[in-house]
Structure 1
Amino acid sequence: MSEGEVATVPRPLLLPDGRPAMRAWTLDPRRRHLNHGSFGAVPRVAQERQNALRAEMERAPVAWFSTLPERIAAARAPIADHLRVDANDLALVPNASAGVSVVLAALAARPGGDIVVTDHGYGAVTMGAQRLARRWGSRVRTARVPLAADAEQAYEAVTAEMDDDVALIVLDQITSATARRMPVERVGAEAARRGIAFLVDGAHAPGLLAAPLEGLVCDAWVGNLHKWGCAPRGSATLVARGPLREDLHPLIDSWGAEEPFPDRFDHQGTLDATGCLAAPAALEFVEDAWGWDAARRYMDELAEYGARVVAAAFARAGTPAEPVDVGTPVPGMRLVRLPRGLGATRIDADALRDRATVELGVEASFTSFAGLGYLRLSAHVYNTPSDYEYFAEHCVPVVEKWAREARAAQVA
């Protein structure tokens, strides 16, 4: 934020009864929660729904598990409505990474077939692609997309890697470390034209994008419900609308193995599926309280405000820092550049996250890209401007101190 510029302060959201939105969650009030994007936060109503389901399961396990596939099938319908897809194209999986593993296991062997990812890709998913490449005796190619690249530049970077040797492209819809959108619609169309399998990692998309699969051609798409959708952990979606769907099977073979997609995913043995069953309660809660469109607008305005306030605080403390240009930003997420010496690698960034949790009482996300460290802000409806003002006033000076100590240690 330049000198003299005043950031618009969003008005905090209230529950229908006038209470602060935070009262609908059970988050520790002694902490500042600035990292919804990593693990989400489950509203009280969804927790209560899951607890009731678990109690029912434990009262009569035989009755529970004998009817569980029908319950899961019923839960798919409102989830599909939220994503604006057909329920018959959607399966429920434990998380997005599990969905990716399902897809990678289903692909027909392509010895020597290369796999394209980007340097923004989620680490666990890229590791899965590397494991598949080892099985195929091929290689993983990394398309380099500059942080500030616009949609056209990102598209060109990915398609430049496409040739007759490429068998699969794995692309984030919204990148985790860099909080930007990738042009999955255009890449998907080109991949289809060339006959290249295309897997979209939409882990952050449910709740953050109104219709994440609209206009998207891909062999499979995965998305977490526990992030922006606020569902209990262990609830995610796998959407497949092409011929690959008939080769997709759960990671655990069970009695539904011979049923068609997605019904076979409704049978997963004795897994605790209450998170998936409670997911509609979380989605409906946000819709009933504010409406998802209004919630997304608030999250985006708040993340923008937070990034400007925190960046200005770093600038006052001696680090020239502005909200970072990520080329194609997404609602509710922003990056702020960290002082030199902090978060240069993923391991360093994770250590910084853990230190902030213990020493600052703040749950925040620190990420790394191209050797630089960033604070990734991800806002939800329970956050308020005071969360970011607190970080700017009380935490930025401490983070600057950590940076000076880190630089001194490097010199020594």
Structure 2
Amino acid sequence: MSETEVTTAPRPLLLADGRPADRAWSLDPALKHLNHGSFGAVPLVAQEHQALLRAEMERSPVVWFPALPQRLAATRVELAGFLRADAGDLALVPNASAGTSVVYSALDLPPRSEIVVTDHGYGAVTMGAERLARRSGGRVRTARVPLDADEDQAYEAVTAELGDATGLVVVDQITSATARRLPVERIGAEARRRGIPVLVDGAHAPGLLEEPLAGATYDFWTGNLHKWGCAPRGTAALIARGPLRERLHPLIDSWAAADPFPDRFDQQGTVDATAYLAAPTSLSFVEHTWGWATARRYMDDLVDYGARVIGAALADPSGADCPVDVGMPVPGMRLVRLPDGLAADRIEADALRDRVARELGVEAAFTSFAGAGYMRLSAHVYNTAADYEYFAEECVPVLGTWARQSTGKRSAP
């Protein structure tokens, strides 16, 4: 929870014409959308802009594609401004996982190298690290970071795994499953001191953090603009600094392969790049309608309130202390502990997500860590306190029933 707990419901944000904020999106009103953090949601103005761009592409493809690199270069300047980065360091990729794949494919680690990750890492990114380690005949070392670890404890847990054989450190800026920060600034500085390359997975950072790159020491950083930035999917940035960046190439070879980084990423055959071109529209929409500072403050207050309401409701059937205090909390996201019997691992968590959507009409995120199940709350400006109150009143009793049924089945002889 945040230092100042929100005990009253934040007032919903409105559009300039007084309508509810959700009217600017095309989200299905028959569903409750409580999981912005997984795939984001694109405002109508950006959808419409992308549709116009696609129509332009289809009207004259032979004109469109040769001119595309120049347009993408201009777009990179706009997106770099939002991230407060240098456009000359920023390449566009479909998502953060694609950014990590670009890095993994570029690195040529010494034989028997070790790659350090954490037990909070995104599964697909960790699997990519394991594949890279196998290429060098090495292995992945996993730093165990307790959920309630503070900055010092998290830093010590990761750096304790560094050694002479370490060829790469992969660390999340904001963890997906556990909705916490990791001290990437301090970890990166120590790795740099030892001459170890650092890849920061900042998938959730753009839009959620005001300055996601501030103070960070890294060789590679990748973050999604289609999550809190609400850009069309998939739009992400891969930022690289230092000599290793010239090894980076897009996953699709093109006639720009001989160009320097990041220009070579602006030309990739017949890839539909309209999501990239429409991304600044989403960012500008939020800024001009509410301002990003106001939006972030609202999202943080809202999930704080939602965690209290849902946590209190879950405490009745489970008897557990449902709201979870993580060691380094992140704005705009919270964890709520689920009753035993629910989401004990990733497979069960995904199954619960699908069942809740299918039977209860709610899009929600459920995760697991160290054998415990959690509901991960993640909000955007279109959410309201009523969304979380509905889940607490209508859905939590059902979750309690499912949990009892699950534990009953497991305890049966």
TM-score band, normalised by shorter chain: over 0.9
Q: Is the 8 A contact 2:6 2:305 kept in 1?
A: no
What is the match of residue 323 of structure 1?
A: 323
C-alpha distance in structure 1 between counterparts of 2:11 and 2:192, whole Å = 44
Contact 1:200 1:221 in 2 (8 A): yes
- Look up the match of 2:43: 43
Measure, in 2, the Cα distance between the counterparts of 1:31 and 1:76: 35
The alignment status of 1:212 with 2:212, answered yes or no, reads yes
Q: Distance in 1 between matches of 2:319 and 2:30?
A: 28
What's the % identity of the aligned pairs?
72
Q: Which moved more, 1:66-75 or 1:356-365?
A: 66-75
Q: For residue 263 of structure 1, what is the aligned residue in structure 2?
A: 263
Matched letter for residue 146 of structure 1 = P
Q: Distance in 1 between matches of 2:270 and 2:26?
A: 28
Distance in 1 between the 2:290 and 2:149 partners? 34
Structure 2: gaps of 5 or more residues: none
8 Å CA contact 2:339–2:403 kept in 1: the answer is yes
Amino acid at match of 2:249: H
Residue matched to 1:138: 138
Matching residue of 2:90: 90
Alpha-carbon distance in 1 for matches of 2:271, 2:364: 31
Q: Deviations over 1:233-263 (max 9, x none)?
A: 1211000121111111000000110000110
Aligned residue for 1:378?
Answer: 378
Q: Quick one: which amino acid aligns to residue 100 of structure 2?
A: V
Q: Is 2:367 the counterpart of 1:358?
A: no
**Paired residue type of 2:308:** R
Letter in 1 for 2:354: D
**Amino acid corresponding to residue 328 of structure 1 in structure 2:** M
Q: Residue 315 of structure 2 aligns to a residue in which SS? A: helix
Q: 2:279: which partner in 1?
A: 279
| Contact map agreement 1:321 1:338 (CA 8 A) in 2 | no
Report the CA distance between 1:268 and its aligned residue: 0.9
Greater mean alpha carbon deviation, residues 208-217 or residues 104-113: 104-113
Measure, in 1, the Cα distance between the counterparts of 2:235 and 2:248: 18
Q: Which residue of 1 aligns with 2:163?
A: 163
Using the TM superposition, give the Cα deviation of residue 363 of structure 1 relative to its aligned residue in structure 2, in angstroms.
0.1
Structure 2 equivalent of residue 63 of structure 1: 63
State the partner residue of 2:79. Answer: 79
Structure-2 separation of matches of 1:157 and 1:50: 44
- Residue 320 of structure 1 and its aligned partner are, at CA, apart by 2.1
Distance across 1 between alignment mates of 2:138 and 2:6: 53
| 1:26 to 2:21 alignment | no
What displacement does 1:31 show?
0.5
Describe how 1:232-251 pairs up with structure 2 within 5 A.
232-251=232-251
Q: What one-letter code is carried by the residue in structure 1 that aligns with 2:261?
A: F
User: Does the C-alpha gap of structure 1 residues 6 and 114 become closer, same or farther in structure 2, counting only changes over 3 Å?
Assistant: closer
Code of the aligned partner of 1:389: E
The answer to which of 319-328 and 275-284 deviates more is: 319-328
State the number of aligned residues: 409
Do structure 1's residue 53 and structure 2's residue 53 form an aligned pair?
yes
Q: In 1, are the aligned partners of 2:321 and 2:337 still within 8 Å (CA)?
A: yes
Distance in 2, matches of 1:48 and 1:153, equals 47
Tell me what 2:345 maps to.
345
Q: Partner residue of 1:102?
A: 102
Distance 1:141 1:307 in 2: 33
Q: Contact (CA 8 Å) 2:318, 2:340: kept in 1 or not?
A: no
Alpha carbons 1:219, 1:244 under 8 Å: kept: yes
C-alpha distance in 1 between matches for 2:393 and 2:155:
40
Stretches of structure 1 that go unaligned for 5 or more consecutive residues are none
Distance in 2 separating the partners of 1:115 and 1:354: 33
Aligned 8 A contact 2:8 2:305 in 1: yes
- d(CA) in 2 for partners of 1:235, 1:24: 20
Partners of 1:208 and 1:332 within 8 A in 2: yes
Aligned-pair Cα RMSD in Å: 1.1
1:123 is matched with which residue? 123
- Structure 2 counterpart SS, 1:301: helix
Provide the C-alpha distance between the structure 1 equivalents of 2:234 and 2:396, rounded to a whole number of angstroms.
34
The 3-state SS of whatever aligns with 2:367 is strand
Distance in 2, matches of 1:128 and 1:377, equals 27
Displacement of 1:323 after TM fit?
Answer: 1.3
Q: Which residue identity lines up with residue 54 of structure 1 in the other structure?
A: R
The 2-side partners of 1:79 and 1:115 are apart by 30
SS of residue in 2 equivalent to 1:206: coil
Secondary structure of the 2:391 match is helix
**8 Å Cα contact 1:206/1:228 also seen in 2:** yes
Shift of 1:6: 8.1
Counterparts of residues 145-224 of structure 1 (less than 5 Å): 145-224=145-224
Q: Does 2:7 align with 1:7?
A: yes
**One-letter amino acid matched to 1:231:** A
Aligned equivalent of 1:311: 311
Question: Distance between the aligned counterparts of 2:203 and 2:320, measured in 1?
Answer: 32
Deviations along 1:34-81, one digit per CA (max 9) or x if unpaired, are 000000000000000100000111111111111111111111111000
What SS class does the counterpart of residue 368 from structure 1 fall into? strand
Report what 1:397 is aligned to. Answer: 397
Shift of residue 109 of structure 1?
2.8
Partners of 1:322 and 1:97 lie apart in 2 by 31
Measure the CA separation in 2 of the matches of 1:16 and 1:385: 20
In the alignment, residue 332 of structure 2 is paired with which amino acid? G
Query: In the aligned structure 1, how far is the partner of 2:279 from the partner of 2:106?
Result: 27
User: 1:178–1:369: 8 Å Cα contact kept in structure 2?
Assistant: yes
Name the CA distance, whole Å, in 1 between partners of 2:217 and 2:318.
47
| Mapped partners of 2:139, 2:256: distance in 1 | 35
Measured in 2, the distance between the counterparts of 1:152 and 1:8 equals 33
Give the conservation status (yes or no) of the 8 Å contact 1:299–1:380: yes
1:8 CA drift (Å): 2.0
Q: Given that residues 178 and 335 in structure 2 are in contact (C-alpha distance below 8 angstroms), is that contact kept between their aligned partners in structure 1? A: yes
For residue 271 of structure 1, give the secondary structure of its aligned residue in structure 2. coil
The offset of 1:316, in angstroms, is: 2.5
Distance (Å, rounded) in 2 between the aligned partners of 1:127 and 1:228:
25
CA distance in 2: counterparts of 1:20 and 1:242, whole angstroms: 46
Cα distance, 1:165 vs. partner? 1.1
Kindly state the Cα deviation for residue 321 of structure 1 after the two structures are TM-superposed.
3.0
1:318-367 deviation line (CA, Å, top 9, x unaligned): 43233101111111100000000110000000000000000000000000
Provide the secondary structure at the position in 1 that maps to 2:223. strand
